[in-house]
Each structure stands twice: as structure tokens, then as C-alpha cells.
């Protein structure tokens, strides 16, 4: 299980970090996510999503950067100009859930994906 803590709060499920993020971006593509902060246990990842159109198809490129665990989440939110999580959108439920067993996974390394079709 992974928690999205920015720009809204929800839990997402999947077999591994990258497949879970890709699935969430695909199912939530109508809101054009560009920046996410995701929690895996006590570790955070910042996700940047870039969109392009190619041959009439919408594609997304996902970049993942681990956040330094020496700093609290509030440090990174302040750098983004956000004072607290209280002003963010209320928690939402993903439209499509995956039925995978919950696994304690190690933090993923930084990652830049190829563009994925949405």
C-alpha cells in the first residue's frame, strides 16, 4: 500500500511502486496530475508527470525522486509553497482499485519512465 499525501490524500495499491503509479496516473488522467508526493512506510517520493500528445494519443512521462528522510514532509511542502496539508483537497478514493496483497517493499530508486499511453 502506498499513500498519496499531495495534492490530495488517498491510498493506492499495487504489486510494486512503478506499476502502482502508472496505474494511478492512467485512471486519474482526466485531472492532469503533474506533481505527487507518495509515502511508502516512512519514506517519501516526489513524482513529476509530464504530458505530451503524439499521433493523437496522450502520453505521460513519470519521474520519481526520493526525498531525504532526514527532513520532515513539512520541509518539502514549504519549499513547494504549501503551509500545511490541511488546505489540500479532501481525501479521495481511487476510481479503480487493484486487488494485490499488501507488501512491505524497500524504497524505490529514482526513476524516469518512458512515455506511457493514457
pLDDT at 104 over 50: no
**Domain extent at residue 39:** 2-117
Q: Write down the pLDDT at residue 114.
A: 67
10 close to 88: Cβ distance less than 8 angstroms: no
Pairwise CA distance, residues 4 & 72, whole Å: 16
Q: Write down the pLDDT at residue 17.
A: 84
b/e map 79-113, b = 16+ CB within 10 Å: eeebeeeeeeeeeeeeeeeeeeeeeeeeebeeeeb
Q: Write down the pLDDT at residue 108.
A: 53
pLDDT in tens, 18-32: 888 888 888 887 787
Number of domains observed in the structure of the chain: 1
pLDDT at 110 over 50: yes
- Confidence category of residue 95, pLDDT binned at 50, 70, 90: very low
% of the chain residues with pLDDT over 70 = 69
Q: Which residues contact 47 (CB under 8 A, 6 or more apart)?
A: 21, 35, 36, 37, 38, 62, 63, 64, 65
pLDDT in tens, 28-57: 877 878 888 888 877 888 888 888 888 888
Amino acid at each position: 500500500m502506498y499513500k498519496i499525501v499531495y495534492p490530495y490524500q488517498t491510498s493506492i495499491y499495487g504489486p510494486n511502486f512503478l506499476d502502482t503509479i502508472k496505474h494511478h496516473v492512467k485512471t486519474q488522467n482526466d485531472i492532469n496530475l503533474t506533481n505527487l508526493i507518495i509515502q511508502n512506510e516512512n519514506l517519501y517520493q516526489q513524482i513529476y508527470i509530464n504530458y505530451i500528445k503524439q499521433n493523437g494519443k496522450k502520453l505521460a512521462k513519470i519521474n520519481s525522486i526520493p526525498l531525504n528522510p532526514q527532513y520532515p514532509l513539512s520541509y518539502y511542502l514549504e519549499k513547494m509553497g504549501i503551509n500545511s496539508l490541511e488546505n489540500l483537497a479532501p481525501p479521495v478514493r481511487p476510481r479503480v482499485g487493484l486487488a494485490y496483497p499488501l507488501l512491505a517493499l524497500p524504497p524505490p530508486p529514482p526513476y524516469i519512465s518512458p512515455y506511457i499511453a493514457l
